[in-house]
Structure 1
Amino acid sequence: MIGLILDEFALALEAFHFLRPMVLLALLPVLAVWWIIRRRATRPQMPREGLAPHLRNALTVGAERRGRVLPIDTSALVIAFAILGASGPSWTRQVDPFFTQTGPLVVVLKVTPSMEQKDVAPTRLDRAKFKIRDLLDLRAGARTALVAYAGSAHRVMPFTEDPSVMLPYLEGLSPDVMPQEGADLGAALEIASSILGEEETPGSILVVSDEMNAGEASAVSDFDTAPITVLSVLPDGQSAFSGSTPSGVQSVTLTADNADVAQIDRITAIAYRRALLEDTSQPWEDRGWWFAVPAALVALFWFRLGWTMRWTAVVLAIAAIAPPQTARADGIADWFFTPDQQGYRAYQNKDFAAAAEAFADPYWQGYALFRSGQYPEAIAVLETLDTPEAAFTLGHAYIRNRQYRDGVRAFETVLERDPDFPDAQHNLDVSKQIVTYVEETRAASDTGEETGIGADEVVFDNEANVGTDTEIDAQPEGDGAPMTADQWMNTVDTNTADFLRTRFQMDLVSAGNSSTSGADEPSATEESDEASEPPAETEEAAE
């Protein structure tokens, strides 16, 4: 942990610079005035020549001032801090709010018979799944993908921000579903690299494995496309590498608590920030406000008796003239931060629900509602705004709320307001594909009502009138009441493991017994933007 803190400090120090370095020239006159006033204040007021030593010491006053802190010292220091803040110190990039605050991560899970050993309770594979689930919870709102490998490697799940979508596929993984024996980590890393290549932001890879053979270790050491972290699912803190850890690879040992998961999250966050520093398309973040804190602490010396207090009269005069504000009793935070500042702090801490409650700015409030999953509420707020950014987020909210045609209209509105808005055309095309996919799926699954088996009563928007709206009239045994749609869905027997086994076999057949990336996924699910999520959910429901 200490090493990670040092790495983070070294990264900040490496990137540190001033956005407005010419402002630092103002320190020169401040230093000159400080030196002149302090020299005059500490100069002896009485000549010492011609006096006996014992009389000179008794009659000379102020000689001890040279070692004291004077008002000019703190005044100059406060002004110096203000100048440093105005010069724009920076060591981080300003991240686009449309991007996740945490980098995308591809989890590569080893699924071999060795992972079923019980030296780590309940088994190595089960413990690995527990750790991945904890990591998904810790990375709330971040984009995560899943790849599994044994003798062949397969894309299990494309990038998603919803852990609940990935969990059924994660639980269905076992050595029985893998079509070939072995441990081809190299093929898995190639798939992970291709998945990351679809993202607009830099990401990293997490390999969850037990002991690595020579081929696996060589694949890790030779891979240089993205940062790699290896979680060793072995007892007693053993490492997956039989020898030393390859250069550039972070190795994390298994722990009984979540310390290993927190370490992984911190490693990936540092790798993400390092990659963002190299992204010249993002502006630098001005950190000048940091110097306000030490300036305020030093200014507290002005309350000392005998120091310059004329500034208090100015403050009182301003307070008397300033118009009264409405009193609030929301907490101490309101004394120091505006609602938008409190909302942004909650947003950075990934507490999107609290951020939505705190934000006063309607766009940020709508965006926070969207990120917290409150899509109808986000739609209600964003529909009142007329900016292209608001329409862009509104389109995503419509898509997530399964109002696909409204999403198409929202992205068309974005292009009307700003034809060059980034990714608007791409999302419009994907949204149209989603509408086509949903309508074709609906038409193909519609069996009519003559047989007594119709489509689900809960349907997507269907403005094109494709298929027939029907309800379920089936009756459960021993009860005269009709089943609801939820009850009917609960009676459907599904097995994720069977689905994965079949899909992995199809991967091998379609690729000529070579490792593939799961080409049978619908094309819309493999898009990297926000609008890519609904087709994945549709596919899962259909399965």
Structure 2
Amino acid sequence: LDLSRSMDAQDLTPSRLTRARLKILDILQRRKSGQIALVVYSSNAFTVTPLTTDADTVAALVNSLSTEIMPSRGSYPPAAIKKGQQLLEQAGVSLGEVLLITDGGSSPAAEEAADQLRSAGYSLSVLAIGTTEGAPIPRAGGGFVTDRSGNIAVPKLEATGLRRLAAAGGGRFAVMRTDDSDLDTLLSGATMAGSESDESLVTDHWREEGPWLLLLLVPLAAIAFRKGLVITLLIFILPVAEPAHAFSWKDLWLNADQQANQLLVEGSAADAAQLFKDPAWRAVADYRAGHYGGSAAGFGTLEDIDNLYNLGNALAKLGEFESAIDAYEEVLETDPNSEDARYNRDLLEDLLKQQQDSQAGEQGNQENA
């Protein structure tokens, strides 16, 4: 399930995301047996629920999903496809299906991951959401989301690329419909004949006995400055539970990091920071709680490019502009195309120059007094 802002587009009523959630619930009702796992990802993939026969738990997670707490751009399907393959292989199953639900497109990296999944004995199917005409993305306060040029963004369904992705994964392709014809295509064992102009394209037979993975596509925007504002790192959403007692159902289903993520979603960032075991997520929670020193210390122990970028943001919030600029420079050395890192660096360099000019002016005034 793609949770980028484009899923709020209303070319499908009431929105792409609402229709997608309902469609997933329909899928869960159809599959009375077998195992299902839930994976979310941004630049990295996370397992929300491992393979389980408890469809109710998965349904509770689906019902809680929203784009409102998420940044609006970026998604990297290959990470989730690889995570899906890893879960299937770790479970020791020989047959398994991965279903990708998205309004986005494909890429060479995604098709390579799908091909590797197929080579391992599994398959990737795609349920595409949206229309070729597309629709603007409404803002909560009115108006519509715009692109970098200031034009109203109108995300359109990229069916051709998604067909290619399903073919690479040896699975099936369908466009979401108001009836059950899309699910009939994806879930039935019958071969569906058609051409490139058909609304659905079958590329392999469905193996009903295999475990199934729902990939929730989450856009990447790690605690980034964007147009002068700070955006928080995306988290995956867990269902709201009853208050915990000495031992609760959460202890049965959720590990400490998952429970901490739930606290983070509920707005209890400081409590989440105390509970997180994962250092990256703990640094995120510290950042959300306004504990920028702890956040910087946490991100400073992690070596990958995303956390280095986050380190720059935490240092910037501390007012340590020069150190933040150094962090962004390191990001750009690894990824010269990182527009956000370049924007943040340039922004801080301007702010630093303004500070220095202001201090020089004050010093000159004092000398002339």
Q: TM-score, normalised by structure 1?
A: 0.31
Give the number of the structure with larger relative contact order, counting CA–CA contacts within 8 Å between residues 6 or more apart. 2
